[in-house]
Amino acid sequence: MANIVQFENVGLRYGTGPETLVDVSFALTAGGFYFLTGASGAGKTSLLKLLYLAQRPTRGIIRLFGEDAVTLPRARLPGFRRRIGVVLQDFRLIPHLSAADNIALPLRVSGVPEADIETPVREMLAWVGLADRANSRPATLSGGEQQRVAIARAVIGRPEVLVADEPTGNVDPTMAARLIHLFDGLNRLGTTVVVATHDMGLLSGVDGAHLMRIEGGRVLDPTGSLRHPPGRLA
C-alpha cells in the first residue's frame, strides 16, 4: 500500500532550547494501525501535533496524503485538517453545545445535510455508552464521559487519519477495550490510526498493529514495521 504519512529528517525546536524531535524519519502505510509509546516528555505529543498540522517542524520534510505539508498554503489547511480526526487529552469540547451537537460538529462543518446527521450521531452516542446523555452539556459530564464524546466527534466523519493522544486515559478498562475496538473497526474501513499510549496492554486488542517507540526525541522501531526508510521525497 502507499504511504499516507512520510517524515524525513524532521526536527522540532520550541524557542531557543534543544530540539524536542531529532532527525525523525519514518513512513506510515495507508490503512495501518500504529501505537506510539514512550516516557512522559519523550516527544509523543509533539510528534502528534506535527501529524495533525497543529505545529510546523523546525526543519525536515513532512508529506501527508501525498503532498508537502510543511509548505502547504494556509488557505488549504482547513480542508486538510478535515481529513484528520483528532482526540486530545484536554478534549476541547464546545461548552455551550450538547454532547450530541459536539459530536455532530464535524458533519456540519463538512456541509452534511441536517437530515443526514441525526442517525449517525445517535448511533455514535449509543456506541460510546452515552445514549442517555445526548442533551447534556460538557460541564455536566464526568471526565470519562467527556472523553467519550471527544472520541465520537473525532471518528464520526470517518477520517482518513485518526490521531489519538492517550484516548483511554480517563476511562475504565472495559470502556478502554471498547474504544480500541471502535478504532480497530474504523481502521478496518480504511482509516490509518495512530494512538499514543502508556498502556501496552492495549496492543493485544488490535491484530497486526505496529509499535513505534519514541525516546529522547527519536523514533525507534521495536517491531520492525518501520524498518525500511521512506527514501528521498520528491
Structural domain spans, the chain: 1-83+159-234, 93-157
Written as nine digits, the cell of 13 is 525546536
Candidates 208, 131, 142, 204; CA nearest to 172 is 142
Under CATH, to which class is 1-83+159-234 assigned? alpha beta
* Residue found by looking up cell 437530515 in the block: 115
Burial-class residue 200 by CB neighbours within 10 Å (0-12, 13-18, 19+). Answer: exposed
Q: Which helix (H) or strand (E) holds 196?
A: strand 192-196
Q: What is the pLDDT along the chain (234 residues), one digit of tens a residue?
A: 689 999 999 999 998 889 999 999 999 999 999 999 988 888 999 999 999 999 999 999 999 999 999 998 989 988 888 899 998 888 899 999 999 999 999 999 889 999 999 999 999 999 888 999 999 999 999 988 998 899 899 999 889 999 999 888 777 888 888 888 888 988 998 999 999 988 888 888 888 889 999 998 999 876 656 544 444 443
**CA–CA dist 125, 133 (Å, integer):** 8
**Buried b / exposed e along 26-45 (16+ C-beta atoms within 10 A):** bbbbbbbbbbbbbeeebbbb
Candidates 88, 119, 92, 121; CA nearest to 104 is 121
**CA–CA dist 61, 40 (Å, integer):** 25
